[in-house]
Amino acid sequence: MLTCCLRSFFNQMCWWDMQGGKVSNRLFYLSIPPNIFIDAVKCASSSASSGNGWTRVIVEKPFGRDSDSSAALTKALKQYLTEDQIFRIDHYLGKELVENLSVLRFSNLIFEPLWSRQYIRNVQLIFSEDFGTEGR
């Protein structure tokens, strides 16, 4: 079912690409259960990679159950994508900080010429937890 729906959507995206002739970047935000990450990425990679732009995937946590399953998931994803195409995000940690990044950038004119794709390749916010997710 997932594959059928995704392929239909991806076919429509490819049709739009052929009509427009413009650069078409693709960003897939996977806020889905980890057990279907690989199927979704495989389908996106084979059917919906941009032919004239970049293709990237954001994978929302949980990213595996532990270190071993996380490594296995990373290895499986790398069959279809390169590391610089994969972005891992925890939607909750640092939420307030991330929400205020645009305020910081646009309310301080000194940042405007520097905070652009010309100077910033990617942003990584890392918060190492020494506790579990119990009670969340």
Residues forming beta bridges with residue 87, ordered by sequence position? 58
Instruction: Identify whether 109 is part of a domain.
Output: no
Cα three-residue angle 51-8-12, rounded to 5 degrees: 50
Residue 74, helix vs strand vs coil: helix
Length of the chain equals 136
Neighbouring residues of 9: CB distance < 8 A, sequence distance ≥ 6: 48
Of all residues in the chain, what percent carry a pLDDT higher than 90? 5
If you average pLDDT over residues 23-41, what whole number do you get? 80
CATH at 80: 3.40.50.720
Instruction: Identify whether 66 is part of a domain.
Output: yes
Query: How confident is the model over 83-128, as pLDDT tens digits?
Result: 999 988 866 655 676 678 778 778 888 777 787 778 777 766 555 5
Q: Which range of residues forms the domain containing residue 23?
A: 2-89
Best CA proximity match to 105, nearest among 119, 92, 91? 119
Most confident of 43-47, 55-59, 81-85: 81-85
Instruction: Identify whether 123 is part of a domain.
Output: no
Question: Helical H runs in the chain?
Answer: 2-20, 37-47, 67-77, 95-107
Instruction: Identify whether 97 is part of a domain.
Output: no
Helices then strands, counting H and E runs in the chain, come out as 4, 3
Question: How many domains is the chain partitioned into structurally?
Answer: 1
